[in-house]
Amino acid sequence: MLNFRECAADPGAAHILSLVSRLTIVTDAALDAPLCALRDTAAAILSADVPAALDAHHRLCRALLLSPARRVSGDLFLDHLLYLVLETPHPFASFAALGRMEEAHRIAMRADLHILGTLSTLKSGDLYRMLAENVRAALRPRSKKDNISEMSSALWSGGPMPKPKKEEPAPPPAFSFPLPAESEWLPFEYGEMGLRDSYVSDEALEEVYVRLLGSSDWRSLCDDIWNFFASYGTAPFLKGRLFHVKQGQVLSLAESDARYCPFTCQEQQRSALIDHVIRFMRGETAEPILLAGDTGLGKTATVFNLAEELPELRLVLLARDAQYDAAALLSALASQPLRFLLLLDDADFSSPSAAALLACRARGAFPANVLLAATCREPSPAIANTLHFTAPRIDEFAQMVEELLSQCGAPMDRAAVRNAAVDHQVDARDRLTVTAALFLADSLR
């Protein structure tokens, strides 16, 4: 594998152009902003165009800073290369997630891995050195042949003798845009290698990072990368367990957006839900399940709690107003080697999207790795298997507040909590709900 530190300017820049242009399956180099800017930087180096090189290099750095690549290697450019291999749903990854190995994809992936592995040796300082070499070469005065040299050449070649010319001094070098100091050339490096955040697939993903960064030939890891996708799926499902659908796309949902509250008074419903989902994950049932009850009783939060209880499960939230194509959504989930709970939150079963999901299930087109669940204010004939949530009694409500205060480590006086619960019910004339318990706990904290 070529090391760019050992390359002269022109061969090195030309090789960068060649490598980027030959990427096939991992990315479209014409659309990937960092690779486009890298190609422009290499072209400007070849022509010793300092303004163009500065512009392209800073566009490259900006694109790397804005890239969704995970910060892991300590080098922005290397982070982006790892992102292209592991976190973009390229055809090789998509087929691997389905458990399929296409030999044509494997050949193309090996070629791209070799290219990206070679590019992984490129540092920002190498680009600066290449540009500086070509700028110095462009400014160096060119020697002109004197009369004796020209006559000697004509004599040896048998051609006519040239007429003596009056010698003229060599022209001064043309003005060139000044090359800034290397300290002003933005570097790719930002720190040491290490995980700066947390992904649910880190147990396997970290090993792939280490092996790629330590390998002299990325092609040798092609089959290992296939096995990774076949076991853990593709982005965005590598990062978290909670997702939602927005404008037809499955996007990560921050865990801070979901408040877990496994209350003692709802343990029966929670246990029944967990048992049902475990049976689904074992392949023993595919029956959808409905959580019915008034607003604010913790139905959605109880479902979210599954993400903590069952780490192998992925939860996809469909809000009441979410716009999606049911067939396309089910196809996207079916293409992953994971188990999903698809939650219709505050379901309107008469809506076209929800009706389409139920129709897919009715005709046997529901994927085996997807379980349908829904929350609704009232039981519905659309889903027979129903868990009922009722408003807590005053003692259960006070216990909810105590459990919330205990979860956050706040000091509490049980008598004071109960008095506050009674006052809340009397003064606010509010229903006793999970939402009210959260509000009261916040005020007592």
Amino acid residing at 292: A
Task: For the chain, report the end-to-end CA distance as a whole number of angstroms.
Answer: 60
Is residue 173 scored above 70 in pLDDT? no
Question: 312 near 397, Cβ under 8 Å?
Answer: no
Q: What is the DSSP string of 126-194?
A: HHHHHHHHHHHHHHSPPP---HHHHHHHHHHHT-PPPPP----PPPPPPP-PPPPPGGGS--SB-S-S-
Percent of the chain clearing pLDDT 90 (strictly above): 65
Question: 318 near 324, Cβ under 8 Å?
Answer: yes
Is residue 29 scored above 90 in pLDDT? no
> Residue 138's pLDDT is what?
83
Average pLDDT for 250-269: 79
CATH number of 242-258+268-388: 3.40.50.300
Average pLDDT for 201-212: 96
- Comparing 161 with 307, which gets the higher pLDDT? 307
CA angle 269–274–276, rounded 5-degree value: 95
**Torsion angles phi and psi, residue 356, rounded to 5:** -65, -40
Picking from 14-18, 200-204, 423-427, which range would have the lowest pLDDT averaged per residue?
A: 423-427
Strands ordered across the beta sheet of 339-344: 249-252, 242-246, 313-318, 339-344, 370-376, 289-292, 386-388
Cα atoms found within 13 Å of the Cα of residue 10, Cβ hemisphere only: 6
Is residue 258 scored above 60 in pLDDT? no
Neighbours of 117 (CB within 10 A): 21
DSSP 200: T
Average pLDDT for 81-85: 97
Split at pLDDT 50, 70, 90, the class of 175 is very low
> Residue 132's pLDDT is what?
94
Domain ranges of the chain: 4-130+182-232, 242-258+268-388, 394-444
| Mean model confidence pLDDT for the chain | 89
pLDDT tens digits for range 400-441: 888 888 887 777 788 888 888 887 777 656 678 888 888 888
> Residue 148's pLDDT is what?
62
> Residue 146's pLDDT is what?
55
Neighbours of 100 (CB within 10 A): 11
Tokens read off for 12: 């090195």
Residue the block writes with tokens 């002109």: 144
> Residue 435's pLDDT is what?
84
pLDDT tens digits for range 224-247: 999 999 999 999 999 999 999 988
> Residue 167's pLDDT is what?
55
- Comparing 144 with 352, which gets the higher pLDDT? 352
Picking from 139-153, 319-333, 363-377, 383-397, which range would have the lowest pLDDT averaged per residue?
A: 139-153
pLDDT tens digits for range 4-14: 888 899 999 99
Is residue 380 scored above 80 in pLDDT? yes
> Residue 151's pLDDT is what?
60
- Comparing 5 with 126, which gets the higher pLDDT? 126
Distance CA 296, CA 121 (A): 55
Distance CA 300, CA 261 (A): 10
Distance CA 356, CA 325 (A): 8
CA angle 86–88–89, rounded 5-degree value: 110
> Residue 302's pLDDT is what?
92
Label each residue of 275-294 as H, E or C. Answer: HHHHHHHCCCCCCCEEEECC
